[in-house]
Chains A and B, each alone.
Chain A
């Protein structure tokens, strides 16, 4: 069987590893005890989460007036944070679905955590519209449920309702995609578990996965079809989020470039967040052999490309504002760049367009410290992008007497920090209890992309044997075993009959 892969491709799993080594190394963070740094980060995240929870309770019990919104700026941090989190949530499905369709093997080391990140960040995103409703216990009113109010239906002409369908489909499909991939890995943890409690829990989580040939055949087909479904889905979600703005008549929002521009921005910020998380995680749980510099470099290239697409979109927006001849549109963009929010605009430009260009240099994109730094810069930049689009477009509307500025209250800030805390609480718990790398899939690419086998092929040629035949064992006398078993059965049969 051929496991040939072009030698120019760098190994995706480094070190001299057997299949069993992979099992052990990926089960280690789950089976071991949490170290001190985990507890410190977890405590900080938990405090931030609880603080945010307090701010949410205050908002809901007092009202949206606790936020910095005013009559001109009716949408600010809430929707900024919503779009920011949804955007971050795009990398996971992109890595697991689009890269699967393109047969990119490097996705296998990072897809599990990227999908976890997706799910956790979409949860954060979903919080904002629900809190902004003011009466979150009526959130189910966004669903088309028969009722006695007239009948009062939801409005399928509204992009806000499209969002409800897009985000709930995205969250639920990402969740089953993730879970289906997790089944064999949970089964691995279940079969290794020593303590009965763990064995029981992972037994439930693994849905009784046994790994028959037919199961694997179906598993692979389901993964492929889900990837095929999730690819247009992931593109549709941010397209629909951008419709929230693009279908309005606000200068600065009413542009047809929004869908591709938002999707590129989402992938951009999502990959940056994957880099932020995985650069730390590979170190903390010592998975440097699986999440290699090669993986980080490839992600940096995606960041560079999508960052450049975003840059082109920014410039196109400026051009179209000028070329349209619409003075309101022209003013909106002039005001963004030179008005009172100039600092937000230039922070966005610097972080999103300028900083990813450093990744043209191989030395920089292979530097782990630098990649981490840029990933943080990009996350900040993408937050500013949404802030710029939303607040600067609203703050100077058609009526100059209504012009105003936005300043967040401690509640705005508290809820935002709270969602960051909640996100990290979920991610840290995940890192301690879930197999953070799709170990079954990684095992399947070992012979083509593992360093060990690449070396063997380099030494002995591409058709080299990649295995060693084990020595034949001395076998027991099976006839005797059967006879013994039969005599035992006979006696037990006789017993059961006599009963």
Chain B
């Protein structure tokens, strides 16, 4: 039989943080925590690895600038070079000053949009996605900690959690 999980509700971020420390000292497993707002330090406390989204953004930016320069080199230098107001147009490097604004904008465009798309995909966010917070109050003022009972006595675990400042404890369905 799979281990039972208790839904433990708190109504304050400080109490939640303290409770997490207490639960960890008892070696109970915290499966997930749902919060109505970002609680600073909670991810470190739960040993959630730091996200690598910023790195992806940098890489996407490199893709953006490469796409921009390749495109402008093809269009303005290779495919159809033109003499526009006598501006140098014989090589990418000569014409580069004119290309900087577009190259910059496309770098930002790729870095921002692809990072956000990556975030949405990694966190499984998209239109028509069904929300997965177990209780509607977790977007209002309740913090929900899901604690796995494991091989411990469920009543004992619940009694302990009750002392950490929980406002409600119930069984995960």
Contact = CB atoms under 8 A, between A and B. Distances in A.
Bind each other: yes
Interface of A: 1, 18-20, 23, 144, 150-151, 153-159, 161-162, 165-166, 169, 172-173, 176-177, 180, 183-184, 187-188, 190-192, 203-222, 224-226, 229-230, 232-233, 236, 240, 243, 440-441, 443-444, 447, 465-467, 469-470, 472-473, 475-479, 481-482, 485
Contacts of B119: 180, 218-219, 222
A159 B50 CA distance: 41
B10 to A, nearest CB: 9
Given A191-B136, A482-B4, A165 B14 contact: no
29 contacts: A151-B80, A153-B79, A155-B82, A165-B105, A173-B109, A173-B112, A188-B140, A190-B131, A207-B125, A209-B125, A210-B138, A211-B139, A212-B34, A213-B35, A216-B42, A224-B54, A226-B116, A229-B57, A232-B108, A236-B104, A443-B36, A444-B37, A469-B15, A473-B167, A475-B155, A475-B158, A475-B159, A478-B6, A479-B154
B166 interface: yes
A206 B127 CA distance: 7
Contacts of A204: 127-128
B14 A229 contact: no
Interface string B29-50: 0001111111111110010101
A27 B141 CA distance: 13
A477 B170 CA distance: 10
B141 A222 contact: no
Given A156-B102, A165-B105, A482-B171, A210 B132 contact: yes
Interface of B: 4, 6, 11-15, 17, 32-43, 46, 48, 50-51, 53-54, 57, 71-72, 75-76, 79-80, 82, 84-85, 87, 89, 95, 98-99, 101-102, 104-106, 108-109, 111-113, 115-116, 119-120, 122-133, 136-141, 154-155, 158-159, 162-163, 165-171
A13 to B, nearest CB: 13
Given A209-B125, A467-B14, A157 B37 contact: no
A221 B77 CA distance: 39
A482 B131 contact: no
Contacts of A207: 120, 125-127, 129
Given A210-B132, A218-B51, A218-B53, A169 B37 contact: no
Contacts of B106: 165, 169
B6 to A, nearest CB: 8
A240 B98 CA distance: 12
A187 B139 contact: yes
B117 to A, nearest CB: 9
A226 B15 contact: no
Given A165-B109, A191-B136, 8 more contacts: A165-B101, A180-B119, A191-B140, A211-B133, A233-B105, A443-B37, A475-B162, A479-B155
Nearest to B129: A208
A477 B158 CA distance: 10
Contacts of B104: 232, 236
